[in-house]
Amino acid sequence: MTMNFIQIILVLIVAFLAGMEGVLDEFQFHQPVVACTLIGLFTGNLVPCIILGGSLQMIALGWANIGAAIAPDVALASVASAIILVLGGQGKAGVSSAVALAVPLAVAGLLLTTLVRTITTGIVHIMDHAAEEGSFTKVDIWQWVAICLQGLRIAIPAGLVLAVGQGPVKAMLDAMPTWLVDGLSIGGGMVVAVGYAMVINMMATAEVWPFFAIGFVLGTVTEITLIGLGAIGVGMALIYLNLSKMGGSSNGGSNNGGGTGDPVGDIIDSY
């Protein structure tokens, strides 16, 4: 499809916010399910973009910056793949191709992330000098400059994709052989499995495993809708919160009496 001027501006705003949120993590605009949904809403492709956002969110579950290791750029992957999906005009049929392109885009985004972070390192030194001078105005200005650079990190590539236009993007998607799309989709599915494994590894505690097992089993019951699963999840969360307020009394008394302060864990440990 062809975007009008207002749609292009709105998409660029989403891209800019996604770039900033990749650092701020305050409103989560960089998350695939948010960025793709907003782009789909503004361009009239809501359903395909929600499906794309959900698929990419599964892949990005295990992506995190750990120490000096920088995770693939989920913001660039979300915005660029959503724009490609919209310009391709394939609707739901183009989701698999967009997902296949998202992972290489995320890896390529690491170069832009490294570049911008290198530049902002110099900005930090400028802010240090401004702080020594007692100029809080300069500190604020340079802080905004650094954050805006993060926004431009995504907005500029998004603008380039929009400038390419519908015709070349559609031709590129149509020219992609089936084996390539299928291969990249399988690779993306493997990344999803790795992401889930990393999340489960971080959550692997004695008091969480029973809830995970219950949810895993309930997820196989096809008669239960997502609303029903959500209600069950909320119910189990409330049960856990109520038990945690008991302060371990379910295991024979208070914390001084041998409880750990986690009644669910105490119950499991007693078996």
Share of the chain above pLDDT 70, in %: 81
In angstroms, how far is CA 44 from the centroid of its own chain? 22
83 compared with 203, residue with greater pLDDT: 83
Side-chain half-sphere of 198: how many Cα atoms within 13 Å?
15
pLDDT of 7-20, one tens digit each? 999 999 999 999 99
pLDDT of 64-101, one tens digit each? 666 656 777 889 989 999 999 998 887 887 888 888 78
DSSP H or E run through 146: helix 136-164
Q: How confident is the model at residue 201 (pLDDT cuts 50, 70, 90)?
A: confident
Mean pLDDT of the region 170-174: 75
Mean pLDDT of the region 176-201: 71
DSSP states along 198-219? HHHHHH--TTTHHHHHHHHHHT
Residue 103 has pLDDT above 80, yes or no: no
Instruction: Determine the pLDDT at residue 247.
Output: 55
Mean pLDDT of the region 103-110: 80
70/118 Cα distance (integer angstroms): 13
Residue 49 has pLDDT above 90, yes or no: yes
* CA 116 to each of CA 16, 100, 112, 129: distance values in angstroms, whole numbers, following the listed order: 14, 26, 6, 20
Mean pLDDT of the region 2-7: 88
66: β partners: 69
Q: Which of 131-135, 147-151, 183-187 has the highest mean pLDDT?
A: 147-151
Map out the domains of the chain as residue ranges.
5-202, 205-269
Written as six digits, the tokens of 7 are 């749609």
156/239 Cα distance (integer angstroms): 48
Residue 71 is given by DSSP the state P
113/19 Cα distance (integer angstroms): 10
- Sequence-separated (6 or more) residues with CB below 8 Å from residue 23: 147, 150
